[in-house]
Amino acid sequence: MKLTIVGTGYVGLVTGVGFANLGNDVICLDVDRGKIAMLESGELPIYEPGLSEIFERNVAAGRLKFTTDVMQAIDDGEIIFICVGTPPGTSQAADLTAVEETAAAIGRYIKGYKVIVNKSTVPVGTAEKVRAVIRQHQQNDVPFDVVSNPEFLREGAAVKDFENPDRIILGTDSKRSEEIMTSLYRALARTGRPIMITDIKSAEIIKYASNAMLATRISFMNQLAHLCEATGADIQSVSKGIGLDGRIGSRFLHAGLGYGGSCFPKDVKALIATLKEFGCEADLLEAVDRVNEQQKFLAIEKLEKTLSIQNSTVAIWGLSFKPKTDDIREAPAIKIIEALQEKGANIHAYDPVAIPNAKKFLKEVRYFSNPYEAIRDCDALIVATEWDEFRNLDMRAVKVLLKRPILIDGRNVYDSGEMREQGFTYLGIGR
Q: Are residues 64 and 148 in the same domain?
A: yes
**Residue from 134, 138, 193, 135 nearest 169 by CA:** 193
Q: What is the mean pLDDT of the chain?
A: 96
**pLDDT exceeds cutoff 70 at 264:** yes
pLDDT at 221: 97
pLDDT at 194: 87
Number of domains observed in the structure of the chain:
3
Rounded to 5 degrees, φ, ψ at 194 are -75, 140
Q: Are residues 146 and 276 in the same domain?
A: no
Q: Residue 159 sits in a domain of what CATH number?
A: 3.40.50.720
Q: Are residues 124 and 180 in the same domain?
A: yes
Q: Are residues 156 and 24 in the same domain?
A: yes
* Average pLDDT, integer, range 318-347: 97
**pLDDT exceeds cutoff 80 at 312:** yes
pLDDT at 347: 98
- 342 neighbors 335 (Cβ within 8 angstroms): no
Q: Are residues 236 and 189 in the same domain?
A: no
Q: Are residues 133 and 215 in the same domain?
A: no
**pLDDT exceeds cutoff 90 at 271:** yes
Q: What residues have CB less than 8 Å from 27, skipping those under 6 apart?
A: 2, 3, 4, 5, 65, 66, 67, 73, 76, 77
In this predicted model, what pLDDT tens digit does every residue of 46-67 receive, in sequence order?
Answer: 999 999 999 999 999 999 999 9
Q: Residue 268 sits in a domain of what CATH number?
A: 1.10.1040.10
pLDDT > 70 fraction of the chain, expressed in percent and rounded: 99
Would the pTM of this model clear 0.85, i.e. be above it? yes
Q: Are residues 37 and 156 in the same domain?
A: yes
Indicate the pLDDT class of residue 189, thresholds 50, 70 and 90: confident
**pLDDT exceeds cutoff 80 at 192:** no
Q: Are residues 76 and 164 in the same domain?
A: yes
Q: Is the dihedral of CA 307, 312, 317, 321 positive or negative?
A: positive
323 Rama sector, left if φ>0, alpha if ψ -120 to 50, beta otherwise = beta
* Average pLDDT, integer, range 319-336: 96
Active site residue 263: yes
**Residue where a domain stops, chosen among 248, 268, 295:** 295
Q: Are residues 130 and 191 in the same domain?
A: yes
pLDDT at 193: 72
Domain limits for position 378: 298-427
Q: What DSSP state is assigned to residue 154? A: P
**Residue where a domain stops, chosen among 273, 295, 317:** 295
**Residue where a domain stops, chosen among 270, 295, 320:** 295
Q: Are residues 289 and 302 in the same domain?
A: no
Q: Are residues 228 and 140 in the same domain?
A: no
pLDDT at 262: 87
Amino acid identity, residue 242? I
Instruction: Pick the catalytic residue from 228, 263, 280, 378.
Output: 263
Indicate the pLDDT class of residue 191, thresholds 50, 70 and 90: low
- 323 neighbors 386 (Cβ within 8 angstroms): yes
Q: Are residues 23 and 172 in the same domain?
A: yes
In this predicted model, what pLDDT tens digit does every residue of 347-392 receive, in sequence order?
Answer: 999 999 999 999 999 999 999 999 999 999 999 999 999 999 999 9
